Amino acid sequence: MMNTNQVIKAPTGSELTCKGWQQEAAMRMLMNNLDPQVAENPDELVVYGGIGKAARNWESFHKIIATLKKLENDETLIVQSGKPVAVFKTHDHAPRVLIANSNIVPSWANWNHFYKLESEGLMMYGQMTAGSWIYIGAQGILQGTYLSFVEAGKKAFGSTDLSGRLILTGGMGGMSGAQPLAGKMAGAVTLVVEVERKRIERKINEGYCDYLVTDIDEALQLVNKYRQKREAVSIGLVGNCADVFPAIYEKGIVPDIVTDQTSAHDPINGYIPNGMCFEQALVLRKKDPKAYEEKAKATMGVHVQAMLDFQASGSEVFDYGNNIRAYAKETGVENAFDFPGFVPAYIRPLFCEGKGPFRWAALSGDPEDIYRTDRLVKEMFAEDESLVKWINMAQKMIQWQGLPSRICWLGYGDRHRFALEVNKLVATGEIKAPIVFGRDHLDSGSVASPNRETEGMKDGSDAVSDWPILNALLNTAGGASWVSVHHGGGVGMGYSQHAGQVIVADGTKEAAEKIKRVLITDPGMGVARHVDAGYDIAIETAKEKGIYIPMMDSEV
């Protein structure tokens, strides 16, 4: 089942190898997810986020590709946890691929049952954009991380200027690897603790991180030097957070912002326990998963306790979406939830306007196509200073990984207007091949995750997961190119349900129609979800933009 001799790279250029651009896009984006520049561990089909995979196994991968190649423009391929299970005739305004990953009936929805199913070849972990073929590398999370840091600063010290400030965090993997660069973009000194040396090396090669150090004191000397100079810099420190965080605390240092993005969502195949070296941990994981799980959870307890200590000393502390508080609480850290998740703390107001991690990729493979879209963003949204600033920084600081792409948080109304303009540029040939528009499942209306995206909803509806399902059904009705429904992304098995969608702008009139439907309804469901929960910003947005909410209509 191993793919020892094959490096996956998406074809580029404007020649079709499938029977239509939607199939071609699905194929290229699946392959792009496994591009060694993009994926964390392509040999095992792992894209990011612990064991988030793009296909169940290599046999399934090849069958998906082969099926996409012969799929007609009125057919739909059905993918169940990374395996192609059927093709049915639908119609040209229906999605070309429908995907469901890692969904388990609730009473069985835990990691143990998942791993049982996985070991029997019946399931894979789809994370969010791994199994739905719209991961675009570290950039995908970069803008969100940057926004969170800026908002945390704004809240903590009333200023978006983070120069001279220290951010302390953990994890430099697939998504967490965005942290050093995001912190730097925000102007801070960023210290990231990562247990696996190789991960830091990779981020240095990619230009996401400036320094690698192995010693706490050396790290703190660098921190001091750059804080004094008020110079933005990022430092990767090889170590376990549960060792390093308490050590820094003991020294009396109080970072301005403390968070964590280690793979704590998965205490068996993600998070690394302390009290042993990295290699020993890998051996224990294989030999005795039960013992490993216990040690990992205990380590999270220590890790979270240190974060609570920092909070008590005045740091702005938040959970960065890996569910570490829940596992720490399990091991007895009763007040683990004393620090908030990043969504209620900083992101929800954006969700109320339908804003979230929108992104696009150029199927041509040509960076010039993305630069053209960058110019379009700056033209169309010239009055949005921070967005223009974002595009300028992104161009300067982000290296391409796989197909050139751009992350850009746009909200209801802007997404479809922008995509329609891009579709025109594809039609005229100014952009050389179709552009693929997608988003994270962490978005305005596409996720229920009570320890993360829907933590602390105003009306108490955190755990209601009707919403992501309706989002997926509606995007299917609207004619997205592919639609997915996942369970367990971000925070692990049992803790979330969420949906994704991707839509292809191939320059045709049909694509424009689909864009006009899907890129309105997709963020529109986000606004509606927050209207229902009683958020004023969402209610205002719905009124202003004319989103029809029956319960707000006094005339019917």
Ligand X SMILES: NC(=O)c1ccc[n+]([C@@H]2O[C@H](COP(=O)([O-])OP(=O)(O)OC[C@H]3O[C@@H](n4cnc5c(N)ncnc54)[C@H](O)[C@@H]3O)[C@@H](O)[C@H]2O)c1
Binding site, by residue number, is: 49-50, 127, 194, 199, 261-265, 271-272, 320, 490
Q: What tokens does 394 get?
A: 């992104």
Residue 497 binds which of ligand X, a copy of itself, none (CB < 5-8 A, kind-dependent): a copy of itself
From candidates 321, 365, 468, 488, binder to ligand X by CB under 6 A: 321
Q: Which amino acid is at 448?
A: A
From candidates 469, 539, 540, 545, binder to a copy of itself by CB under 8 A: 469
- Smallest separation (angstroms) from ligand X to the CB of 403: 19
Main-chain dihedrals φ then ψ at residue 313, nearest 5 degrees: -85, 0
Which range, of 174-182, 192-200, 303-311, 446-454, touches a copy of itself by CB under 8 A? 446-454
Radius of gyration of the chain (CA): 22
Residue 117 binds which of a copy of itself, ligand X, none (CB < 5-8 A, kind-dependent): a copy of itself
CA pair distance 344, 458, nearest whole angstrom: 10
From candidates 82, 95, 170, 301, binder to ligand X by CB under 6 A: 170
Q: What tokens does 233 get?
A: 């810099």
From candidates 3, 41, 73, 90, binder to a copy of itself by CB under 8 A: 90
Is the separation of the CB atoms in 500 and 134 below 8 Å?
Answer: yes
Kindly state whether residue 500 participates in binding a copy of itself, applying the rule CB under 8 A.
Answer: no
Residue 40 binds which of ligand X, a copy of itself, none (CB < 5-8 A, kind-dependent): ligand X
Kindly state whether residue 270 participates in binding ligand X, applying the rule CB under 6 A.
Answer: yes
- Smallest separation (angstroms) from a copy of itself to the CB of 25: 17
Which among 37, 70, 97, 134 has a CA at the least distance from the CA of 435?
134
Kindly state whether residue 479 participates in binding a copy of itself, applying the rule CB under 8 A.
Answer: yes
Which among 343, 375, 159 has a CA at the least distance from the CA of 259?
343
Residues 486-515 that bind ligand X (CB under 6 A): 490
Which range, of 75-83, 263-271, 305-313, 499-507, touches ligand X by CB under 6 A? 263-271
3-class secondary-structure state, position 169: strand
Residue 449 binds which of ligand X, a copy of itself, none (CB < 5-8 A, kind-dependent): a copy of itself
Residues 40-79 that bind a copy of itself (CB under 8 A): 60, 63-64, 66-67, 69-70, 76-78
Q: What tokens does 465 get?
A: 């997961």
Kindly state whether residue 457 participates in binding ligand X, applying the rule CB under 6 A.
Answer: no
CA pair distance 184, 190, nearest whole angstrom: 7
Residue 76 binds which of a copy of itself, ligand X, none (CB < 5-8 A, kind-dependent): a copy of itself
Residues 22-41 that bind ligand X (CB under 6 A): 40
Which among 190, 326, 211, 201 has a CA at the least distance from the CA of 258?
190
From candidates 4, 5, 15, 120, binder to a copy of itself by CB under 8 A: 120
* Catalytic (active site) residue 408: yes
Residue 215 binds which of a copy of itself, ligand X, none (CB < 5-8 A, kind-dependent): none
- The bridge status of strand 497-505 relative to strand 435-439 is antiparallel
How many residues belong to the site for a copy of itself (CB under 8 A)?
85
Q: Which residue(s) pair with 505 in the sheet?
A: 435
CA pair distance 63, 85, nearest whole angstrom: 10
Residue 549 binds which of a copy of itself, ligand X, none (CB < 5-8 A, kind-dependent): a copy of itself
Kindly state whether residue 320 participates in binding ligand X, applying the rule CB under 6 A.
Answer: yes
Q: Burial letters for 432-445: b for 16+ Cβ neighbours within 10 Å, e otherwise? A: bbbbbbbbbbbbbb
Kindly state whether residue 198 participates in binding a copy of itself, applying the rule CB under 8 A.
Answer: no
How many residues belong to the site for ligand X (CB under 6 A)?
35
- Smaller CB separation from ligand X, 136 or 442: 442
Q: What's the N-to-C CA distance of the chain in angstroms?
A: 59
- Smaller CB separation from a copy of itself, 15 or 120: 120
CA pair distance 114, 118, nearest whole angstrom: 6
Per-residue HEC secondary structure of 57-100 comes to CHHHHHHHHHHHHHCCCCEEEEEECCEEEEEEECCCCCCCEEEE
Distances (CA, A) of 248 to 99, 242, 316: 45, 11, 16
Kindly state whether residue 199 participates in binding ligand X, applying the rule CB under 6 A.
Answer: yes
CA pair distance 317, 178, nearest whole angstrom: 18
- Smaller CB separation from ligand X, 21 or 111: 111
Which among 332, 330, 357, 329 has a CA at the least distance from the CA of 343?
357
Residue found under tokens 């994926």 = 39
* Binding-site residue positions for NAD(+): 49-50, 127, 194, 199, 261-265, 271-272, 320, 490
- Smallest separation (angstroms) from a copy of itself to the CB of 194: 29
From candidates 143, 497, 501, 541, binder to a copy of itself by CB under 8 A: 497
CA pair distance 261, 324, nearest whole angstrom: 9
Binding-site string for a copy of itself from residue 521 to residue 540, where x marks contact by CB under 8 A and - marks none? x--xx--xx-xx--------
Q: Which amino acid is at 203?
A: K
Residue 194 binds which of ligand X, a copy of itself, none (CB < 5-8 A, kind-dependent): ligand X
Closest-CB residue for ligand X?
A: 173
> Which are the contacts of 176, defined by CB distance < 8 A and separation ≥ 6?
169, 170, 192, 194, 261, 262, 263
Point out which residues bind ligand X (CB under 6 A): 40, 48-50, 141, 144, 170-176, 193-196, 199, 240-242, 261-265, 270-272, 299, 320-322, 442, 490
Catalytically active residues are 408
